[in-house]
Amino acid sequence: MVSSSLRHQSIRFSQIATYVALGLWSIICILPVYWLALTSIKSAADLDQAPSYLPFIDFIPNLEAWRFILLDPGESLLPRFLNSLIISSTSAIVTLVMAVCSVYGMTRFKTSHIALSRYRTPIFFAVIALRLVPPVLVALPIYMIGTEFKIIDTHGLLIVIYSAFNFPLALLLVIPVLSLRVTVEEESARLDGAGHFVILTNILVPMNRVQLMTIGVLMFILCWNEYLLATYLTYDHAETLTPWMIGQLSMKEAQTGGGSEEISHMAAAAIFMAIPAFLLTYSLQRLVKDLVGRSLT
C-alpha cells in the first residue's frame, strides 16, 4: 500500500515537473516573438522611451511600420512575398514529387543489370551526401552559368536550385514513409491489374498523406528561409523576402544610424515573414488531430 502511494506520488511529481519544464520552454520560445510583435506596433517615440509591455495600457499601438512595409510604393514587401510564395511552394512540390517517385522506383523495381544492382546503394548515399555541400561553394558557379544563359533573377532558376539542394533531404525522409516492403494493398491492386502509377497515386500517397505533407511543409520552410542562394541569384524581379529584409532594410537602418523607426519596420517585416510557415504548421497540426480523432472513433 505504501509502495503504491509512493509510486503514485512519484508519477504525479514527474508530470508536474514535465509541465513546468514545458511551460518554461514555451515562455522562452514565445517571449521573443511577443517582443517582436510589440516592437512592430510601437512608434519611434515609444521605442526611445523605457520598455513597455502591454498595448493600450503602457502605450498606444501605432501601425505606421505595417503601413510602410505593405503600402509604401518603394518599400512594399508584397512583391517579394509573392515571389517567396511562388518559388517556395513550387520547389517544395517538385522536390516532394521527385523524392516520392525516386523512393518508389528504388524500392519496388528490381533491375537485372549487374552494375546497376551493385552500385545502387553507393549511388543512393552519394545523392544523400550532396546535402552536406555548403551552398556557398556552388553559389558563384551557378551565378556564372545563370549569367551565361541569361536566367539570373528568374523564378525558374531558384525553383530548380532549391529543388536540387533539398532533394537529398526529402529522399532521406521519404524512405521510412514509403516502406521497403510491399504492402497488402499494393499486392491486391496488382492482382486487379493496376499499374505502378495507379498504385503510387491512388494507394501509397493517400495512405501516407500526412507524413508526406509534413515533409512538404519542411521543404517549404527550408526554401522560404533560404538567404545565400537567393542573394546571389536574384536582385529585383525574383527577389524573395529574406534577402530583401536582411539586405535592404538592414542597409537602410545602417545608413540612417539605426533609428527606432527602421527597427519597427524590420520587426513588422519579420512578423509578416513568419506568418505563412505558422499557418502551414497550424493547418497540418489540425489535420493530424482530425485524422487521429477519426481513427479512434
Q: What is the mean pLDDT of residues 80-102?
A: 94
Q: What is the mean pLDDT of residues 234-260?
A: 72
Q: What is the mean pLDDT of residues 118-124?
A: 69
Q: What is the mean pLDDT of residues 27-35?
A: 92
Residue 218: CB partners within 8 Å, gap ≥ 6? Answer: 173
| Half-sphere exposure in the Cβ direction for 201 (13 Å, CA) | 6
The model scores a pTM over 0.75: yes
pLDDT, tens digit, for every residue of 183-221? Answer: 788 888 888 888 888 888 888 898 888 889 999 999 999
Query: Could you give the percent of the chain with pLDDT greater than 70?
Result: 85
User: Angle 187-189-191 (CA atoms, 0-180°, nearest 5)?
Assistant: 70
The pLDDT, as a whole number, for residue 253 is: 55
φ and ψ of 256, to 5 deg: -95, 10
User: What is the C-alpha separation between 48 and 261, in angstroms, rounded?
Assistant: 10
The strand pairing partners of 55, in sequence order, are: 59
